[in-house]
Chain A
Amino acid sequence: MTKHYDQLVALSNLNLDVPWGQLYGFLGPNGAGKTTTIKLLCGLLRPTEGTILVGDVDIQKNPMEAKKQIGYIPDSPYLYEKLTAWEFLHFVGKLYGMPKTEIDAKGEEYMERLGIAEWKHRLVQDFSHGMRQRVVFSAAFLHNPKILIVDEPMVGLDPQSARMVKDLFRNLARQGGTVFVSTHTLSLAEELCDRIGIIQNGSMIVEGTVEELKQRADMQGALEDIFLELTKEEKAVHPPVFS
């Protein structure tokens, strides 16, 4: 897929194939095109060229069907400030056409698991960043998505919640679903992901398992070193000030 914003080419012929049952890490420097890719995958943006298939459903041609399969967790959890967490979950559930009893049951389950059950009748405006993030996680899992798309999942979460979230991701993948994670936390990608794609200047520069990436970079060590090696750009060489 390709995406232009007026003159700016945000994505150029990006080809992604993410199999079912995998945790896919999507890495790249700031401004590489990660958020644009995510918004395209979710149907929030339209590609200038190309097609996006969610399973076998084209998200442009049949957005309703495609969106039912997706859950999305943004990096900035903007929520409706004047709703309580519980009301927010009900709102999201109803948008997905879920019956009240199912929203109640699922809502209770995820709020309990993420440790926000006792706060559920508070207005969102009183919540910290981490609390909001936990509400967003609960809402994203509510309609049983087969695909979870996550932008910076651990921002604002305490260690217990972060562990819980990792377990939820693994669970979903084990059940045959797919988790697509964009992150700058390279240790998380290394620990969690089956495959990793690295994007730079709107194009995929490398893709594979951590081992494959190491081979490609021709180096051993942490993913952080490999990432820095693969994404380093030639800097302009300036003449010395004094010589």
Chain B
Amino acid sequence: MVPIKQYGILGVKSRMFWNTIKDFKKRWFLNIGLALFLAVVVFGGTFVFFHYVVFGTLFQDQYKEFGPILAERLTNLSFVAFFYMLLFSNIVSVLATVYFSKETQFLMSLPIPHEGVFWGKFLESLIYSSWALVAVSMPLLLSFGIRKEMTGVPAPWWFYPVAPLCFMVFASIPALMGAGLTLFFTSWLPARRARVLLIGMFVLFILAAWPMASRLVHTVHQISPETHSDGVELEALLAALRGSRSAWSPHIWMNRALFALSDPAAGGEFLFWFGLLLSTSLLLFQVMRHLVPRLYYRGWSMCGLGGRRRKNTDWSPWDVLEPTLLRPFGRATRALVLKDVKTFWRDPGQWVQLVVLFGLLTIYVANLKSMPVGVESAYWQNILSFFNLGAACFVASTMTTRFAYPMLSLEGRQCWVIGLAPIKSTRLVWQKFWLSWFACAVAVGTIIGISSETIQLKPAMKAVCYTTALLTTLGLSSLAVGIGALLPDFTQDNPASIANNLGGTFTVVISMAYVGLSMFVEGVAVDAYMVKRAIGPRSFFAIYGVLLLVNLMVILLPMGLALRKWRKIEYL
């Protein structure tokens, strides 16, 4: 084994981390305060979601017969999702950090064994790609321990320190598998082509999961509140929620380990499941130890290969965009849009997860017609339309944070191009805003369109949905572009790193809160006025007026502040 620490890579990394923290202290009120606020909101929000929304619903008295079984299935599905997300994010992250990074190039020039570089950079990639999922899993584990309905008794005290440790061992399995796959493919294919191949495999995998997801949505819709205790329907639901139950699946071991750990009567069962996780992780590590010296340098040295010469022509399909769709805009704006679209399209690692999210949402919406409940009733139409709108807007909020928020920061390194050009700096901010809005509006509009047609929404409700979508997408774009303009980071050139910084986390939290709050208030108001007739038109329009004001504030304030700052921007 290569004694990593000996080569000082980790020491340097920890020093860099410490320096970042020290830099934080300089503006401690803003940075530390914001970080704490975000930690509390994210942790608290996730805890509330699992503890009260998910488990709280499952353990209601009316579901007590099958609540624990459903809980077991749902935690299993969560671990399935965690497993594949970790596998994919580790593949993308290992390629970027261990292969393409400029730092790797520098480290490879030093008298350090290649495997030392690999393990040092792999650890960095592991932390970078997994910390968010590990952080999100902690409230789930906490809620799992507190809820005594799982096993009939509260979890013992040792559950709380051991469960996170167990999860980390579980998380190391997809991480090592992701790194192993990358190592294998890059040893015989240039890394850029390996990336395309691995992403393609991931998309195929998701497409293969389409029938399963479709079946799940269909079955869930078969269960109506009135007939939930029907044994046949319950069995169908459990079958649909089954996920992979193979004894060879690490997520099953994790799930079993968690249940055994929370049950004091389970005796040594936990050790068995934990042993399976630990031994698999160690085995994978051992395999990697043998593969790295043989394959890593070979793969890394092919990194520069595989660049594709574009078609030897001055014309590209993208150029059709310019004279057609973008005709109303000025020449400079058209150039900026075209540049952003090309840059985005040519980096599939950035957008493939988003396509998957929207794909799953489309599966769900397209299956709405299988609902047995009377979708033509105003009650269900109201619930479904707002739920669909909310889901689409939540995905749009991840889209704006992931892509619109970093856009202005990304111009920083190329400031000599944009900053020098005879265009107003505010035009750049507007261009990012409208581009972000257009992309969101198309995505959300498509989902709303399919959903409205599937459940045959009445014209009045359609109008409400489209107006809300219009306002919310404007608001989300303003938040992302506005905060991105107010807190630019011109030192980074990786959009994922920019989106993961403090400002990015703040943007995603505030965007989700904005979407959640507006959907909730609007849904309740529409239900009270159009369905239950509990309030009159005056109250309804008063609530709508307030909502409209809030939306206008969210649209105008961040963009207003951003434009004010960018009128005086300096490209340091």
Residue pair B309, A67 in contact (C-beta under 8 Å)? no
B538 at the interface (CB under 8 A from A): no
Indicate the size class of the contact surface on chain B.
35 or more
Query: In angstroms, how far is the closest chain A Cβ from the Cβ of B445?
Result: 27
A65 proximity list for chain B (CB < 8 A): 422
* From A63, A121, A123, contact of B312 by CB (8 A): A121
Residue pair B310, A122 in contact (C-beta under 8 Å)? yes
Residue pair B331, A126 in contact (C-beta under 8 Å)? no
Residue pair B421, A46 in contact (C-beta under 8 Å)? no
Residue pair A42, B419 in contact (C-beta under 8 Å)? yes
Query: In angstroms, how far is the closest chain A Cβ from the Cβ of B413?
Result: 4
A92 to B419 alpha-carbon distance, docked (Å): 11
Residue pair A126, B307 in contact (C-beta under 8 Å)? yes
B314 proximity list for chain A (CB < 8 A): 86, 104
B181 at the interface (CB under 8 A from A): no
A70 to B421 alpha-carbon distance, docked (Å): 9
- Stretch from B193-201, B282-290, B332-340 contacting the other chain: B332-340
Total inter-chain residue pairs, C-beta < 8 Å: 95
B420 proximity list for chain A (CB < 8 A): 42-44, 67, 70, 72
* From A91, A92, A96, contact of B338 by CB (8 A): A91
Query: In angstroms, how far is the closest chain B Cβ from the Cβ of A49?
Result: 15
A-B contacts, 21 of them at CB < 8 A, read: A44-B419, A45-B571, A45-B572, A64-B422, A64-B423, A64-B424, A78-B416, A80-B339, A80-B414, A81-B343, A82-B346, A83-B342, A83-B343, A90-B335, A91-B339, A94-B331, A94-B332, A96-B422, A125-B307, A126-B304, A139-B417
Residue pair A43, B419 in contact (C-beta under 8 Å)? yes
Residue pair B338, A44 in contact (C-beta under 8 Å)? no
Query: Which residue on B lies nearest to A68, using beta carbons?
Result: B422
* From A83, A96, A123, A125, contact of B421 by CB (8 A): A96
A8 at the interface (CB under 8 A from B): no
* From A44, A80, A81, contact of B570 by CB (8 A): A44
Q: Within residues 422 to 452 of chain B, which ones have a CB less than 8 A from any CB in chain A?
A: 422-424
A90 to B335 alpha-carbon distance, docked (Å): 8
Query: Which residue on A lies nearest to B345, using beta carbons?
Result: A82
B415 at the interface (CB under 8 A from A): yes
Q: Within residues 115 to 156 of chain A, which ones have a CB less than 8 A from any CB in chain B?
A: 121-123, 125-126, 139
B304 proximity list for chain A (CB < 8 A): 126
B32 at the interface (CB under 8 A from A): no
- Interface majority SS on B: helix, strand, loop or mixed? loop
B327 at the interface (CB under 8 A from A): no
* From A67, A90, A123, contact of B307 by CB (8 A): A123
Question: 19 more A-B contacts (CB under 8 A) besides A70-B420, A87-B316?
Answer: A39-B571, A39-B572, A42-B419, A43-B420, A45-B570, A65-B422, A67-B421, A72-B420, A80-B343, A91-B335, A95-B335, A95-B417, A95-B422, A96-B421, A97-B331, A121-B309, A121-B312, A122-B309, A123-B307
A67 proximity list for chain B (CB < 8 A): 420-422
Query: Which residue on B lies nearest to A73, using beta carbons?
Result: B416
A84 proximity list for chain B (CB < 8 A): 310
A46 to B569 alpha-carbon distance, docked (Å): 9
Q: Within residues 337 to 364 of chain B, which ones have a CB less than 8 A from any CB in chain A?
A: 338-339, 342-343, 346-347
B417 proximity list for chain A (CB < 8 A): 79-80, 91-92, 95, 139
With A83-B339, A95-B423 as contacts: A121 and B310 at CB distance below 8 Å: yes
Residue pair A123, B331 in contact (C-beta under 8 Å)? no
Residue pair A92, B421 in contact (C-beta under 8 Å)? yes
A230 to B63 alpha-carbon distance, docked (Å): 87
Query: In angstroms, how far is the closest chain B Cβ from the Cβ of A48?
Result: 11
A74 at the interface (CB under 8 A from B): yes
Residue pair B343, A95 in contact (C-beta under 8 Å)? no
Q: Within residues 390 to 435 of chain B, which ones have a CB less than 8 A from any CB in chain A?
A: 413-424
A123 to B414 alpha-carbon distance, docked (Å): 16
* From B310, B335, B413, contact of A94 by CB (8 A): B335
B533 at the interface (CB under 8 A from A): no
Residue pair A94, B334 in contact (C-beta under 8 Å)? yes
B493 proximity list for chain A (CB < 8 A): 78
A135 to B408 alpha-carbon distance, docked (Å): 23
Residue pair B570, A78 in contact (C-beta under 8 Å)? no
A126 proximity list for chain B (CB < 8 A): 304, 307
Query: In angstroms, how far is the closest chain B Cβ from the Cβ of A46?
Result: 6
Query: In angstroms, how far is the closest chain B Cβ from the Cβ of A6?
Result: 11
Query: In angstroms, how far is the closest chain B Cβ from the Cβ of A54?
Result: 12
The digit string for B293-323, where 1 denotes a CB below 8 A from any CB of A, is 0000000000010011111111010000000
Residue pair B423, A87 in contact (C-beta under 8 Å)? no
B568 at the interface (CB under 8 A from A): yes
A72 to B336 alpha-carbon distance, docked (Å): 19
B568 proximity list for chain A (CB < 8 A): 46
Q: Within residues 96 to 138 of chain B, which ones have a CB less than 8 A from any CB in chain A?
A: none
B311 proximity list for chain A (CB < 8 A): 121
Choose among A79, A86, A121, A139 the residue with the greatest number of B CB atoms under 10 Å from its CB: A121
A63 proximity list for chain B (CB < 8 A): 422
A6 to B417 alpha-carbon distance, docked (Å): 26
A139 proximity list for chain B (CB < 8 A): 417
B309 proximity list for chain A (CB < 8 A): 121-122
Choose among B310, B414, B416 the residue with the greatest number of A CB atoms under 10 Å from its CB: B416
Query: Which residue on A lies nearest to B418, using beta carbons?
Result: A95
A97 to B414 alpha-carbon distance, docked (Å): 19
B414 proximity list for chain A (CB < 8 A): 78-80
The digit string for A81-117, where 1 denotes a CB below 8 A from any CB of B, is 1111011001110111100000010000000000000
B419 proximity list for chain A (CB < 8 A): 42-44
Query: Which residue on A lies nearest to B306, using beta carbons?
Result: A126
Query: Which residue on A lies nearest to B415, using beta carbons?
Result: A44
Query: Which residue on B lies nearest to A119, using beta carbons?
Result: B309
A72 to B335 alpha-carbon distance, docked (Å): 19
A42 to B423 alpha-carbon distance, docked (Å): 13
Residue pair A72, B343 in contact (C-beta under 8 Å)? no
A78 to B410 alpha-carbon distance, docked (Å): 11
Query: Which residue on A lies nearest to B416, using beta carbons?
Result: A74
A125 to B347 alpha-carbon distance, docked (Å): 12
* From B307, B331, B334, B338, contact of A122 by CB (8 A): B307
